[in-house]
Structure 1
């Protein structure tokens, strides 16, 4: 772990700038949560969210004026904001959005979603305050997180670009493409696009192939692989059980809809999951993005930020239902990404999370085949 990363655990005492930023963000969160209340919504979830947001505002204000010890204040502010994230997400899932029209534009913004996002940033500021990160450190981490989010987005956009470029010489030779052939072609393009983005990032940051953590697995790696797969499915079970018990609805992955139309497609995706999907997604989001975050974040912090980025790029894959259902599904992806990120952080071997990810997806695809086949 680098000295910069260790600053997350024992850095200098933060200036009042960080609590000040937290106060502003918590204030935005509180106002957004109060909008549905002012419109007559008396749902206890919304009221509780507004109360937790108020607690975060008060905590940051007291912290800014030196009336509360740093670690206590940071913990309370972060905890309160995480509570708002969960409550606002639940409210969105239950259809409470409090839409507001944007002047001069024929669109409306769900204000509760604004609270959801603002609370997420507020929680991050609370964590920064807890670890004594000053404004300069906060700026450095924010810029790197933004840059690596762009790398993650580039990985997402690279696939359709490569598809278009390769379709010019390839598709006429194979036309007409069946759905199975098109799926294989798209996945190969995903692999190529990921390699191009990775190569471009390594070149721009003056890194070489030694940055890629690929080495022969040890018995310890094998144990992590087996245990990690069990933990991944266990995490999915726990999250799914919690959602079902609380009445949270999630969005289906677009692959599920494809399985309903053509179950045989899942048989093709099983090997593709192990050979392409798992390895190349882990290459970009764990080896490139998460490992780069080690430079400015603590390792746990890097795992969390990389998991947020990983979940965010799956928005389009789950855009099969309403906003609240999509957020619930992304929450599941975030939880699973935390597991994969932790396994990569513990092993420093890309092959381990790549195999776990690939086998996990392959088993899900096989289950879809038996369900709809």
Structure 2
């Protein structure tokens, strides 16, 4: 497997792809994993996933709407796919970071589902967020009043909050506090996210009503720098696989070690050599007349090669194209010419041509 990547979405679960049958792998085939989900807010959950072979622009479904969403594996094309789904939706404080990590910007001390006991408790929402800073008035604190919180008013601010997962902007309240409370916020800091401030986030329900979700509290460190235009604060949330999520990977079958294959060219042999009337692996002749099936084996072959067989006069007798998923492979020859006639007894020359690896010339005898 190579180039495994999270193509779209930002679910935090893990996907494990393992090889269980190297010979069944479709080399260089590309697969896409997609998901379906139901519910909103804390009721959001993954319902199924689908795997599609998208090689060459095709869309061939190899796993359809599987519900094996945790640990249990599905098997296809020599691969085993297991999911470790994050079912709990929860903000991740340790993952919060600024776009510019070289400056000492104010830091959040709380990034979690908002609660104000005993009256208020927000609902988790499965999305990542980004606070994007600009000029004053780029957005406004929404002024959404909730029982149990101080009165909220609408006023211009120097930032807006984007739901990154769904790529849209949300409503929010900014509660401004001075680090030396109960002193009021200085006029020059009005509408700017600074130390000791609190943000509450809202998401719309199916009827368009604004629902309280998360809360963000900033530190009271007066030595930290305040963000300005161009700064972005990223706020991650742990979440299950959603319909926004797609993963892509390319399957790789057993790979041939070229240097090793070159060294092993000398190991190529014909068995039996000489061929005397018969070989032990030939099936019993069930016919009342005729010789029946005959064959010799070319062994220790590289994965891909062309075997040309000549008589001692240099005439081409037959050609074998060998293409195997494994190294140290074997090719059979039925002792018939390319015209499908029985060959004569005698000495024959074989030439093995393995592109990118090398060549091997040898001989074998067919004895009556």
Query: TM-score normalised to the size of structure 2?
Result: 0.21
Bigger proportion of residues as helix: 1
- Structure with the largest fraction of strand: 2
TM-score, normalised with respect to structure 1: 0.20
Computing the radius of gyration from Cα coordinates, the structure with the larger value is 2
